[in-house]
Structure 1
């Protein structure tokens, strides 16, 4: 049955149907107060002698001020998303950061690779230098020495990353990816992160949420605990994706996972093309930013797919994150021409062919089977 999304255009807020009134002051709009405060700070800094001094990098300061002004507008004027903790304004700022990143990507899309590498030096003068060649898997023997040498800060990053991805997708089977190393990935990094993330989801699923106002909470210790709880979920939604329930659901889940994997793979190409080390702050910021953006985005997508009566359009976080991932892909395709000339090995081509055939054959079989069942009932 096709979902009816023909509700009046005036209904543009599919989420935030409940508001946290336990700290009422922090949930008042205060838009004019924010504007007056921001203009006062901006005027003071712009008129101060330190800024007016010759030789200061006024262009960089102007860019920072413009970003802050845009994020202020995002904080006070963007629509609310699905989350209200720690505050809806926080998630509006996250949306604003995503939009800034998307605008930067659109700008880079119309540049050539050499120009983009030069622009990166404006952010960090140490960039713009080709990365040294690195070799991997020279000695694959399973020994204690090799295992210990392979464990570094990136192992912790992998575990934390998959912990976050489990919180985003909230499904064991959706969190499985390709494995680079059987021991480090399957037994330690990725699996451990997935397990910890899913256990956290299970905890919030059974947790009984009762919220009292800070003013009605007695004692300094209890008030402190209540303040800290402001940084925990207000409630929790268990995800049941049901990707095989219908052809539309299958396609939706397939596109979700394809976008998810593209978001994972894109930074590997971008850092290689732009000559950035994996530990560079830009790469770390991109990974952390996409994680924060994906939390409300996947929640909005789940609501859109499973409860169309409450979400008449795809949420703003989901729409913008999808646009961001697709723009990254366009940049990679454009800049990769002639960069990766070595052809795929035959067994890789065969594996992709078999996998693609199965992805098409399975839903086709399901649709044909359902058609025969309906025809038999008639």
Structure 2
């Protein structure tokens, strides 16, 4: 909504934004991802050399399993004993991801590339590949007390995000001259407030679950 006056494709009705974007695309995607993570966490990993398998079906199954994780690490961004630094680090991650998503729309609009353009698809694939190790390194830096610095891949992703934002600002001067600063400030404050509320809510929920289990 805050950028609807700059990007025409952001002008949509409330049910499109709420139902399709928030509940179905984002909400359903998050739920499916959480279910997959739970199944992978509960799974028992037993790796056997393909030479030790005698049946053809067993060899084929082992070949397919070669492309699955060798092990699975329990990921817990927040826990009841986490510090406020981890809390704000997670809020920072949410804001960075929002900026990355905005870069996608502004780059398409400023450089006049349709969604079907191969560069758009290649960029999304490249960002997806880069994000995986970057978030992992950021997670290690946030949760591991022995990790004193952010990993190289995380810095690379941050540099890409900032560079894309600079390109948008530099090449979209005419577009950003029409910026309604009040809307942007309100959007930023809402993003900050909602991020803090969501993260803090998850901390309280985790405490509640642990209290009931204890």
CA distance in 2 between partners of 1:279 and 1:200 (Å): 29
Q: What is the match of residue 212 of structure 1?
A: 48
CA distance in 2 between partners of 1:356 and 1:340 (Å): 20
Q: What is the match of residue 267 of structure 1?
A: 104
Q: What is the match of residue 27 of structure 2?
A: 191
CA distance in 2 between partners of 1:345 and 1:329 (Å): 17
Q: What is the match of residue 290 of structure 1?
A: 127
Aligned-CA RMSD value: 3.0
CA distance in 1 between partners of 2:156 and 2:185 (Å): 34
Counterpart mapping for 1:346-365 below 5 A: 348=183, 351-352=186-187, 354-355=189-190, 358=193
Q: Is the 8 A contact 1:243 1:253 kept in 2?
A: no
Say which structure, 1 or 2, has more relative contact order (CA 8 Å, 6+ apart). 2
Counterpart mapping for 1:1-378 below 5 A: 137=12, 140=13, 181-242=17-78, 245-309=82-146, 311-344=147-180, 348=183, 351-352=186-187, 354-355=189-190, 358=193
When the two structures are superposed, what TM-score results if normalisation uses the length of structure 1?
A: 0.44
Judging changes above 3 Å, is the alpha-carbon distance between structure 1 residues 189 and 248 closer, same or farther for their aligned structure 2 residues? Answer: closer
Q: Any gaps of 5 or more consecutive residues in structure 2?
A: 1-7, 198-214
Q: Is the 8 A contact 2:78 2:86 kept in 1?
A: yes
CA distance in 1 between partners of 2:117 and 2:64 (Å): 31
CA distance in 2 between partners of 1:243 and 1:329 (Å): 33
1:114-169, Cα deviation, whole Å (9 max, x unpaired) = xxxxxxxxxxxxxxxxxxx87954xx597xxxxxxxxxxxxxxxxxxxxxxxxxxx
Q: Is the 8 A contact 2:141 2:149 kept in 1?
A: yes
The Cα shift of 1:266 comes to: 0.7
Q: Is the 8 A contact 1:243 1:250 kept in 2?
A: no
Judging changes above 3 Å, is the alpha-carbon distance between structure 1 residues 226 and 286 closer, same or farther for their aligned structure 2 residues? Answer: same
More helix by share: 2
The Cα shift of 1:292 comes to: 1.5
Q: Any gaps of 5 or more consecutive residues in structure 1?
A: 1-132, 143-179, 363-378
When the two structures are superposed, what TM-score results if normalisation uses the length of structure 2?
A: 0.74
